A and B are shown apart, each in its own frame.
Chain A
Amino acid sequence: MSCAATSPRMVQKLCFVTVGATASFYLLLEALLDPAFMEALHRYNYTHLLIQYGKDGQALFDEFTANRPFGHPDLHGIAVDGFDFKQTGLDYEMRLAKAKPSENRSSGLVISHAGSGSILAALRFGVPLVVVPNPTLQDNHQEELADVLQQEGYAVWGSYKELSSALERAEALRTRMLTWPPVHGANRKQRLEGVISEEMGYLD
């Protein structure tokens, strides 16, 4: 990460964005690389923006960073970094958004495409999460998931068109985050195990 330019005394607050690896999500990447979004990040005290931009986002991202070195007015003091994707998963990056006082990091944010793998990872880490459904995917079940997660208080349903307002709502979510996985009845944990055992046909 290019954090050389930030002073070590400053508390780091990272916004990590994953656009997904399977489908392209150019609209989200464009919205992220907008000076207005940088300004909003700055307003909520973020210092770093780290983007997993996907294979086809490389050109756009490279062009953006080449034209705007750290300190460029468009960046509003945000250090921007990115990579295309990682075969091994994004646990390391998600963890960077988690508060860690010993490393001078405050609780940041994960903005994720609405794929269940990334959503579940962010929920497990207990990082505030904004879920952005991809409108170019034909099946709209991503919006249903984002909607229900917002209703139940696990995440913020964000639109790529209104990322700044999603940042604001994420600050509200930060103060009343629910634990994951949800705690239900005592037997719930063994439901799948129970179904498998029934299908096995064990003798008593």
Chain B
Amino acid sequence: MAPMESPIAGILAWIFFCAVFGFITAALYLLTRAASQNTPVPKWRSQHSRVHLLIVLGSGGHTAEMLSMLRRIKLDPAKYTNRTYVVSSGDNFSATKAAEFESTLIDRGAEPQSYNIVTVPRARRVHQSYLTAPFSTIRSFYSCLLVLRGVHPDQQSWPADLFPVPYPDIILTNGPAIAVCIILAARLLRLYHSCLGFLFPQRLYSHPRSVAGAAADGTTPHSGGFRLRTIFVESWARVTTLSLSGKILLPFADRFLVQWPALEDKKALWGSKKAEYVGFLVD
């Protein structure tokens, strides 16, 4: 996508951008209204199934906080068998920190090549013109879709018998800009699967099987419906107000956790979603 610098092209780009994102947002909005987000996830997964965790890293502070949280929960590589780290282009600090963290997991029994670090383009680089920002945002969003579908060029694919569905099971983020793209992309994929389930109920994409129908290997249901679960942790640096990413994502994330009491029960701009106060998650 070549950058266009003439004002008319820029305005057209904005109109196009607003139309596309307006449509996606409207679709996601309907989805969030239709499916109550506060209902618990059905119990379908066996205890010892493989889990693919996707972690979104951001600039310095976000990455430091995320790794601090992962250290604190003593992330168990036997439980979270496969891990993907998403970093923004040019952010060598986060990529280095992720690799460093993974090296500590080896001692705790992480399998070789059980993680990926993928780089996605930034939605808007510092000093980039706002006229061209819509294009780079679309590119960034598309790249996030590739990551979630497991087909981004940076990703090694894990054997299909281990992961019949390429989607990560859990997406964990603490609110860098790229988290907006990742979480909206995850909602879009889930919307896609619920539409398929509606149109072709006889296929595997049908309504998730009940507990009784869940296979012992914990790999069903095959739909995206109960994967791509999103957990948004508001930055520890946010004491009384939500970040911009947080304000955008509060209605979309499955769980929205805040670390300071003043943010408890903050409500989204629409819908009934509230922030959950859980205390400090960082160490």
Closest A residue to B47 using CB positions: A202
Say yes or no: B43 contacts A201, CB within 8 Å. Answer: yes
Q: Which chain A positions have C-beta within 8 A of B53? A: 196
Q: Which chain B positions have C-beta within 8 A of A188? A: 278-280
Bound-state Cα–Cα, A201 to B45, Å:
6
Check A115 for interface membership: any CB of B closer than 8 A: yes
Check A124 for interface membership: any CB of B closer than 8 A: yes
Contact flags A191-204 to B (C-beta < 8 A → 1, else 0): 11101101111111
In the complex, which residues 48-66 of chain B have their Cβ closer than 8 Å to any Cβ of chain A?
51, 53, 59-61, 63-65
Say yes or no: A196 contacts B64, CB within 8 Å. Answer: no
Say yes or no: B41 contacts A115, CB within 8 Å. Answer: no
Interface size on B (CB < 8 Å)?
52
Quick one: which of B60, B237, B238, B279 contacts A191, CB cutoff 8 A?
B279
Bound-state Cα–Cα, A199 to B43, Å:
9
Say yes or no: B69 contacts A145, CB within 8 Å. Answer: no
A120 touching B45 in the complex, CB below 8 Å, given contacts A199-B255, A200-B51: no
Q: Which chain B positions have C-beta within 8 A of A147? A: 239
Say yes or no: A196 contacts B72, CB within 8 Å. Answer: no
Bound-state Cα–Cα, A181 to B156, Å:
37
Q: Which chain B positions have C-beta within 8 A of A196? A: 53, 170, 172, 231
Say yes or no: B43 contacts A192, CB within 8 Å. Answer: no
Bound-state Cα–Cα, A124 to B68, Å:
10
Q: Which chain A positions have C-beta within 8 A of B65? A: 116-117, 120
In the complex, which residues 122-136 of chain A have their Cβ closer than 8 Å to any Cβ of chain B?
124
Q: Which chain B positions have C-beta within 8 A of A144? A: 239-241
Say yes or no: B257 contacts A190, CB within 8 Å. Answer: no
The residue in A142, A182, A189, A204 that gathers the most chain B C-beta atoms within 10 A of its C-beta is A189
Quick one: which of B69, B229, B280, B281 contacts A200, CB cutoff 8 A?
B229
Q: Which chain B positions have C-beta within 8 A of A121? A: 64
Say yes or no: A199 contacts B41, CB within 8 Å. Answer: yes
Closest A residue to B96 using CB positions: A87
The A contact surface, by secondary structure, is helix
In the complex, which residues 165-200 of chain A have their Cβ closer than 8 Å to any Cβ of chain B?
180-182, 184, 188-193, 195-196, 198-200
Q: Which chain A positions have C-beta within 8 A of B172? A: 196
Say yes or no: B235 contacts A116, CB within 8 Å. Answer: yes
Contact flags B19-53 to A (C-beta < 8 A → 1, else 0): 00000000000000000000011111111000101
Bound-state Cα–Cα, A115 to B93, Å:
15
Say yes or no: A145 contacts B61, CB within 8 Å. Answer: no
Contact flags B86-109 to A (C-beta < 8 A → 1, else 0): 000000110011000000000000
Closest CB of chain B to A181's CB: distance in Å?
5
Bound-state Cα–Cα, A192 to B173, Å:
12
Q: Which chain A positions have C-beta within 8 A of B169? A: 200
Say yes or no: B241 contacts A192, CB within 8 Å. Answer: no
A116 touching B236 in the complex, CB below 8 Å, given contacts A182-B280, A191-B279, A195-B255: yes
Q: Which chain A positions have C-beta within 8 A of B236? A: 116, 120
Q: Which chain A positions have C-beta within 8 A of B214? A: 203
Bound-state Cα–Cα, A59 to B60, Å:
24
Check B282 for interface membership: any CB of A closer than 8 A: yes
Closest CB of chain A to B190's CB: distance in Å?
13
In the complex, which residues 101-118 of chain A have their Cβ closer than 8 Å to any Cβ of chain B?
114-117
Say yes or no: A145 contacts B237, CB within 8 Å. Answer: yes
Bound-state Cα–Cα, A180 to B93, Å:
25
Residues of A within 8 A of B (CB): 20-22, 87-89, 114-117, 120-121, 124, 141-142, 144-145, 147-148, 180-182, 184, 188-193, 195-196, 198-204
Residues of B within 8 A of A (CB): 40-47, 51, 53, 59-61, 63-65, 68-69, 72-73, 92-93, 96-97, 169-170, 172, 211, 214, 218, 226, 229, 231, 233, 235-241, 243, 254-255, 257, 260, 278-283
Contacts A22-B60, A202-B45 aside, 5 further interface pairs with beta carbons under 8 A come to A116-B61, A142-B237, A145-B237, A188-B279, A198-B41
Q: List 23 A-B contacts (CB under 8 A).
A: A20-B60, A22-B59, A22-B60, A87-B96, A115-B61, A116-B64, A124-B283, A144-B240, A148-B239, A148-B260, A184-B279, A189-B72, A191-B279, A192-B73, A192-B281, A193-B73, A196-B231, A199-B170, A199-B231, A200-B170, A201-B40, A201-B43, A203-B211
